[in-house]
Every structure is written in structure tokens, then in C-alpha cells.
Amino acid sequence: MIMDATLQLSNAQPITADTASTNTIDLGATGTAYGAAAALTRDIGKGLGVPLLVTVVETFNNLTSMNILIQVDDNVSFTSPTVAYRSPEYLLADLSMGKKYLLPDSFPVDTNERYVRLYFDITGTAPTTGKITAGAVMSRQTNSNK
């Protein structure tokens, strides 16, 4: 599995409360077509997907569950984020070291703003242990013979 450091959202990031990923991905400004008055609207469009991978690199404790959100915003400070995707609820038993969670096969259709980040939404008691590494990957390792 290949993960480019410039597309890495979290690198062994401790998750001890509701928090955003350490890094964001800048999809770049949209351009303005010749003669047009306004910039083009972002449209990720069809094509090959960009897989997103979240890996638990330290086992979590205390919490009841966690959801992973993909958020987008037009500014890097995420003053008005929009949720483009919300994962299923991952229970504490599912958050042990080595677990891999595969987010959508590509950025969701609602990824229509310039900046992208993950947001970790904790339910229950705040964990004192638990770390995540996450980002866009070239391809997903499946260990499948098919």
C-alpha cells in the first residue's frame, strides 16, 4: 500500500476527544474559463477513485464508539465545514491496533469545496489511548486471492 505524505491526513495522531485530522488536503482553487465571469464550480466527476484509508495504530480505550467524517470547506480554517461523508459507527471492540477502515472508494460527490479533512467524532468517555494514521492511498491492500 502506498501513502503519499502530502495526502496524509493523520500520522499516528492521538484521538482523545472529538477532533479534526492533523492535516488537510488542498484540492486547489477552481479556474475561470476564458470569458466567464465566475470561477468554475468544483466537480470531482467520474474517473478512477482515490481510496481513503484509516488505520488504528494504537488500541483505543474508554470510548463507546467513534464515527469518522469527511469534511470539506472553502477555507483552510474550516469555519463552516460541510460533512461530505459519515462512516458507520465503530464500537470500542472494533478500534484495536491494526484495524483498517476503508472510507469511500473515492472522494464523495459532496466534495465540492477546496479543503478536505477527517473529523473523529467520539461517543462516550474520552479515550486516553488510541491513535490513527489516515490518508489517501494509491491502492488498498486486501490480502485476497481473488
Q: pLDDT tens for residues 15-64? A: 999 999 999 998 888 788 888 888 777 666 566 667 888 999 999 999 99
Average model confidence (pLDDT) for the chain? Answer: 86
Q: Find, among 64, 61, 84, the residue nearest to 72 by Cα.
A: 84
Cα 35 from chain centre: 36
Cα-to-chain-centroid distance, residue 74: 16
76 secondary structure, DSSP code: T
- Per CATH, the number for 3-27+49-137 is 2.60.120.1110
Euclidean distance between CA atoms 120 and 71, whole angstroms = 10
Q: Provide the whole-model pTM.
A: 0.86
Identify which of 14, 22, 104, 123 has the alpha carbon closest to the alpha carbon of residue 66. Answer: 123
Res 89 pLDDT > 90:
yes
Q: How far is CA 111 from the centre of its chain?
A: 11
CA distance 99 to 101: 7
pLDDT at residue 93 tops 80: yes
